Each structure stands twice: as structure tokens, then as C-alpha cells.
Structure 1
Amino acid sequence: MKRFFYLLETTTYQIYSSIAELPISWDEVAHENAFLQTPYLKVLENVAPTNMQCFYIGIFKKSELIGVALAQYLDLNKLESFGERDRCIKTYVRNFIFKNFASHVLFLGNNMITGQNCYAFNETIDFETISKLLIRCASEITSYFKKQNITIHIVSFKDFYKECAIAFNEFAFKSIYEFNTQPNMVFELPHHWKNNDDYVATFSKKYRDQYKRAHKKFDGIETRALSLEEIITHEERIYELYHHVAKNAPFNTFFLDKHHFTTFKKQCGNRFVLCGYFDKERLVGFHTLLLNGSVLETYFLGYDNQVQKEKMLYLNMLYNMTKFGIENQFKKIIFGRTALEIKSSIGAQPIIMSGFIYHTNKYVNKVMANIFPKLEPTLVWQQRHPFKDS
């Protein structure tokens, strides 16, 4: 893709398809969000899912870079599966619609993670300008694909916290359908917690018993952070464990490349942690973390399903990630939008996030408010309150 240069009032922007083209000040502008910095973006460029293409947006005031953003194109026709856990009529209808009427999707933001990771600025920009910029960029990328005889069906602006969504709704997004999917589970860590004992001491009896039971079941499992060399050694097994979990998710729009975790470790070094779980030297599970300033971001994981059931592996992973966050004095942990009930049982709270979506066919777009809710899996869950004072 050639670099585009367009004027929006006093602000200009360029759209890039290669990390090598990015301005040298890119990481300085993106310094508060590791998911918009070049080490992570190089992971996407080098080992993106086979059905994904990324675009990088630089926003300028005169000749100075003041903002960065990410866009991702997904071709759902290349997907091996949308997810195999839920087999019901609604799921089959959803999959049919996506395959036939929404297979080419453009995201402004990062479809691979949960959280507000669409853009970053190093100075205050009003929401009216941001919303216009995002829509203009989406339009230009859509036109780029049209010239290649590819019709973008769906455009989605992904994951905004409530205050941003309200602001966007007042400006260029006001005519675009706003949706809420599963909440983002976020654990705000009290600053006075210094170690794991402080955390466990706050549990009510029921959840302290759950913690003890999980740790007793976990007996015999060795846990350790893996070096790059160890990740390379276990690469096939890591991917096998990841793929098992991903394939059995209720809905997928991509699958990671087999070299994703190895490349991530090469690019991000100590900021990327892959923790392995071993049963008699056999890798039976792993979780990953990205150290994002004062925020600990949970990333992808995988496990052997039989061991998970016997050893309560997933729950122990959540406890271990929380322990890591406390001991390393992170302000909060982003747990994402899956397994809501069990994440609430370890202390995470649901945070509603909004997205905006439109179909490029104006007739389909008119009924988006009727169609979209029917495509979302029905979610019934009970929030848990594990602490004494909750």
C-alpha cells in the first residue's frame, strides 16, 4: 500500500503498510501504550494471523508527529473455524452471515486484544477531530481495497471506555451503531498490597477455601518463566496448547501464527513474559503477559484440557498472574473479556466497553441495530465478590 497523505482541517495524516516507513518519533508518541509501539507492531508485521493485514496511521500537526493509530483488515474467508464450542442454530446462522455478508472486516483498533488500544497522542486532541480522523482513515483504507477488487463489508471502531464512547457519540460517530459486547475484566490493585499474602488475607472464607483448594490440586505442577531459548524449544507444544483453547472458544476471527510467541519474545524481551506449567517435565500449560507501563496486560494462554480439569490449571494461572501484578507493583491487570465469572472470583471487575460498527452496504447498515444483537452469543453469568468487604 502506498503512503497516503490527506488534510483534515489543520491536521494531516499518513497511512503506512510497513514498519520501516514509520517516523522515527513513533515510539516517543506511543510511549504510554506498548501495543502501539514498534516492537509489538513488528510482531504483527512479521507473524500476523494469515487472514490479517495491518496498517499504521501517523497523525501530524504541520510536520510534527502528534498521534499514532492502528488498523487491521481481516479476511474471514481464510479462517479455518469461527470456534467450535457452541453448536446451536444461532451459531450456525451467525457463521453463515459472517461468511457470506461480512467476510471482509476493517478494524480501527486491535482486534487481537481487549482494551482501548486504537490510538495514542502526545498532546490533547479533541474528540471531534479524533472521530473525524478515524472515519476518514477507514474510508481511505476501504477505497484502497476497492481498487484491488476487495469490498470491505464491515468497519468497526473497537474498544472505547464509557467516557470516550459518549464523547464520540456527540460528533462524527453519532450516526454509527454503538454496541457493547462482553465487558473487559479489570483488576485494580490496591497500592497497599505488597505481596500475595496481603491479597489472600482479604478473601472471605468461601474464596479463601477456593484459593486453598486450587493450590492443593495444583500440587506437582512446576511453574517457571521461559527464556527465549526455552520458548523456541517448546514452540510446537506451546502452539498446540494455544490452538486447543482458541479452537474451542465460542467465536474467533483469527488464529495466531505458529511463531507468534517466539517472535514476541525476540521483539519485546523482558517486557513479554511466557510462564510455562510443567507436569513431570511435560509442558501442560502456559500463560503470557505484557508489561505495559503501570498496567499488566494478560495475553494468550493455552493448556492441556485433561490436566486443566485435574489440577484447576486455569484458576491457578489467574492467581499466578495476580501475584505477579502485586509483587511487581502494577496498578491494574487487564484480564480481557472471556471467562467472566471465574475472573470475578479472583477479584477482577467488569468494565463496559463500547465499539462502533457500520456496514458499507447502506441497506444492510440501516438494519444494523436489528441484526447485530442477534449475532452476539447469549451471555449469562454471575459476578462473584471474593473479598470480605464486598
Structure 2
Amino acid sequence: MYFLKPNLTFQTYSSTKNFPTDWDLIASNNIFLSQDYLSILEKSAPINMVCFFIGIFEKEKLVGVSLAQYINLTNVNSLGDRDHCFKTMLKNFIFKRLISNVLIIGNNMLTGQNCYQFSSQIKVTDGILALNEAAKELKIQLRKQNHKIHLTVFKDFLKTKANLFETPNFKSYYRFNTQPNMVFPIKDSWHTIDDYISDLTKKYRDQYKRARKKADAITKRKLPLSEIEKYHKQINQLYLNVAQNAPFNTFYLAENHFEEFKSTLKDNFLFYGYFIDEELIGFNTLIKNHEDIDTYFLGYDEKHQRNKMLYLNMLYDMIGYSINKKYKRIIFARTALEIKSSVGAKPIEMIGLIKHENYFLNQLMAKSFAYFEPKIAWQERNPFQ
């Protein structure tokens, strides 16, 4: 137990089995801080990731919960497989030697504010300061294990929460903006997918019809745990087809990741397979998070993706499901910004904070961050005008 201001302490945990009994009571508004979800990370986190869990206490009463992740980028081709030019190889060389050991306060596997949940008994600013102290302690623990942290990151906060970090404790951090979180708000007037389609302009109704026609030969079904296990090899290959072509990677999922998800979260985790003649050609996953549906990882065969407009059809399927089930929002996350925009998702700007442990390198953070952050040019669409 580590002491902060009077009556406020924090405790770090390496296993969910040691959680206080009221952990889920504090985390009740966000499945991504629940004991069930965090136990999945404990059992099937990426091979280069170690998860830590943080409890904040006031007079021995749990008042806040959070997640931290140590990521070792040494053995990950973080800048993707698509570009093998000298500039990319140079970036990878620098990346792995100067910024490969990263401590993230938050969840690097998700998009959005999934860093913490605090009870009303403490101020959010006090909770944030406690997390900063917890980060310092975790860096000491990791150093004892011969893991010297290069970068500390506080990940994914709404711009409206930027004032939480306007304290001397965060003066040395560089505040950055990454790609926006694409969020799809569901109108109260939509009761079926037909209501959504009728609100589209002609151009985007035609896009919907064209995509659906392309997918005539595809059958889609929700897979239970037994089928996720059955198609284990195909699922991992389809996932890697997408992940290895991403412009930036910090991890690859463990091979048992989806099985652990389904086994633990059960009906709160949905896995949809897309088939042609019983051949699995793609999949997507969804997580129920109270009034939100969060899209998770997906995979597809690139040939069928191009010929069948598979990714776009997946987006329409997610929209149809979420409307039918009366959800309020779909969290589409980052990547593929323009196509998500074309179905109605809106960009929500997020901020993060980052600091290099070397003082002189930290002074260059603004320039170096711009050098490594992939540049994504895209045009926002509005399919309802």
C-alpha cells in the first residue's frame, strides 16, 4: 500500500485473483475495467505485454480502479510490413533502441476513455494524481526486473478532460492528439436498419445497395465457443492478414485471445463469421458495454474484401445489430476513418500525454512524435445530408 495525501493510498496488483471484493462495484459502468475483462488480459495478453491493475483507496475503502500495461516493442515490427524502404528501417532501428519500453496508463488495445473509474467519494483530479504516483512505482518495479522504461503514456482522454492534467505533476509531459475515435450515434427514431437506410442520401443508399449486392454469396453467422475453437487457425490467419498490414503496431494478439474472450464474457462478446461455401473468409467481433457497442478486432481475406466489399458490409451489419438491440452508440475506434465516416460515424478527438524518461530526449518529444506518428489524410463524409 502506497500513501499519497491524507487518507488516500494506492495498491498495484499483478493478478485479478487478488482484487478487493468491491472492485466490480467501482467498475460497474465500464466492462473494460471489470474483473472478468481484466482476467482475460491476464490470461491472454499479447506476448510482449504485461498488465498491472491499480486500486485507489480512501481510508481503506476502494474508490478507484485503473489499468496499466508494460509493452516491449523490441520484437514487434511496429511500423508495419508494407514499407521496407530505408527510412522505415531507420525508424524501426531508432524506435527499438530509444522508445521500445513503454508504460501505458490506460488500455492500448482499445480506443476511448477506458483508463479509470472513480467513485464520487474522490475528486477526479486526486484520482489522476494517484495514477501518476502509481506509474512512478510501477517503473521502479519494472526496473528491478531489468525493464528500464523509456516512455510513459497516459492514453485516450476526451479533449474536455484536458484540464485534469493542468498541474505541475504533468508539466513534463507532451500532450498529443492521435487519430480520432470514430463514434456512431444511433438516433431514437431508428428502430430497424430500414429506418437508417431511409435517412441516407441517395448517394449513400446506393452505396449500401451496391455493397449488399456484392455480398450475395456470403453467409454470416454468430459463432459459439466451439466454432471459434474449430476455426482457430483460420481466425488467426485472417486477423494477421489485417494486423500485419496496419501502418503502426505495438502488439499482436495471443492465439487464444478470442477463445478466452468468449469463454469469460459469454454473451457480452459476439463473434461473427463470414463464409462462402463454408469457407471462413472473414470475421468481426463486438463487445457489449452497457449502452454502447464496442467494435473489437476483425480479420478477412484480402481478395474477398476487395471483391465483396466485405469490410463495408461488416460495418452495416454492426449498425443493423446495434439498432435492433437499442444501443445508443457504436464505438468504431480508430483506423479506416473515411469509410467509417461514410456510414455515419463521427470523429471524436482524443488526447494523450507522453514523456520520455531521458530529459534531453523529452525536450525533443514534439518533433519526434510527429516523426513516428503515421500521417493519415482523410475526408470526413456526411451520409445524411
TM-score interval, smaller chain: over 0.9
List aligned pairs for 1:135-150, cutoff 5 A: 135-150=132-147
What secondary structure sits across from 2:102 in the alignment? Answer: strand
CA deviation vs aligned residue, 1:238-280 (integer Å, no higher than 9, x gap)? 1110011001100100000011001100000000000100000
What is the RMSD of the two structures over their aligned residues, measured on CA atoms? 1.4
Q: Choose the corresponding residue for 1:216, options 208, 213, 221.
A: 213
Q: Residues of 2 paired with 1:186 and 1:46: CA distance?
A: 29
How far did residue 170 of structure 1 move?
A: 4.5
Identify the residue that residue 128 of structure 2 maps to in structure 1: 131
Q: Residues of 1 paired with 2:280 and 2:68: CA distance?
A: 35
List aligned pairs for 1:252-271, cutoff 5 A: 252-271=249-268
How far did residue 124 of structure 1 move?
A: 5.4
In the alignment, is residue 165 of structure 1 matched against residue 165 of structure 2? Answer: no
Whether contact under 8 Å (1:127, 1:171) holds in the other structure is no
Partner AA of 1:183 in structure 2: P
In the alignment, is residue 226 of structure 1 matched against residue 223 of structure 2? Answer: yes
Q: Choose the corresponding residue for 1:96, options 67, 89, 93.
A: 93
Identify the residue that residue 15 of structure 2 maps to in structure 1: 18
Identify the residue that residue 331 of structure 1 maps to in structure 2: 328
List aligned pairs for 1:68-217, cutoff 5 A: 68-79=65-76, 82-88=79-85, 90-123=87-120, 125-170=122-167, 172-217=169-214
> CA 1:193–1:90 in 2, change beyond 3 Å: closer, same or farther?
farther
CA deviation vs aligned residue, 1:61-81 (integer Å, no higher than 9, x gap)? 111111100000001113255
How far did residue 92 of structure 1 move?
A: 3.1
Whether contact under 8 Å (2:63, 2:122) holds in the other structure is no
In the alignment, is residue 376 of structure 1 matched against residue 369 of structure 2? Answer: no
Partner AA of 1:362 in structure 2: Y
Identify the residue that residue 342 of structure 1 maps to in structure 2: 339
What secondary structure sits across from 1:284 in the alignment? Answer: strand
Q: Which moved more, 1:343-352 or 1:118-127?
A: 118-127
Partner AA of 1:33 in structure 2: N
Q: Which runs of 5+ in 2 are unaligned?
A: none
> CA 1:337–1:271 in 2, change beyond 3 Å: closer, same or farther?
same
Q: Residues of 2 paired with 1:161 and 1:223: CA distance?
A: 35
What secondary structure sits across from 1:77 in the alignment? Answer: coil
Q: Residues of 2 paired with 1:125 and 1:200: CA distance?
A: 45
How far did residue 338 of structure 1 move?
A: 0.3
Q: Residues of 1 paired with 2:119 and 2:85: CA distance?
A: 47
Q: Residues of 2 paired with 1:25 and 1:127: CA distance?
A: 19
Identify the residue that residue 33 of structure 2 maps to in structure 1: 36
Partner AA of 1:85 in structure 2: R
Q: Residues of 2 paired with 1:23 and 1:247: CA distance?
A: 39
Whether contact under 8 Å (1:81, 1:247) holds in the other structure is no
> CA 1:361–1:295 in 2, change beyond 3 Å: closer, same or farther?
same
Whether contact under 8 Å (2:221, 2:272) holds in the other structure is yes
Q: Choose the corresponding residue for 2:348, options 344, 347, 351.
A: 351
In the alignment, is residue 250 of structure 1 matched against residue 247 of structure 2? Answer: yes
Identify the residue that residue 312 of structure 2 maps to in structure 1: 315
Q: Residues of 2 paired with 1:168 and 1:328: CA distance?
A: 37
How far did residue 355 of structure 1 move?
A: 0.3
How far did residue 130 of structure 1 move?
A: 2.5
Q: Residues of 2 paired with 1:365 and 1:236: CA distance?
A: 42
Whether contact under 8 Å (1:90, 1:375) holds in the other structure is no
How far did residue 189 of structure 1 move?
A: 0.8
Q: Residues of 1 paired with 2:230 and 2:79: CA distance?
A: 29
Identity of aligned residues (%): 50
Q: Residues of 2 paired with 1:150 and 1:277: CA distance?
A: 42
CA deviation vs aligned residue, 1:86-137 (integer Å, no higher than 9, x gap)? 4455533332221110111000000011010000112253343123112111
In the alignment, is residue 367 of structure 1 matched against residue 364 of structure 2? Answer: yes
Q: Residues of 2 paired with 1:131 and 1:28: CA distance?
A: 19
Partner AA of 2:184 in structure 1: F
> CA 1:223–1:105 in 2, change beyond 3 Å: closer, same or farther?
same
Q: TM-score, normalised by structure 2?
A: 0.97
In the alignment, is residue 290 of structure 1 matched against residue 255 of structure 2? Answer: no
Q: Which runs of 5+ in 1 are unaligned?
A: none
Whether contact under 8 Å (1:67, 1:120) holds in the other structure is yes
Q: Residues of 1 paired with 2:25 and 2:108: CA distance?
A: 23
Whether contact under 8 Å (1:297, 1:334) holds in the other structure is yes
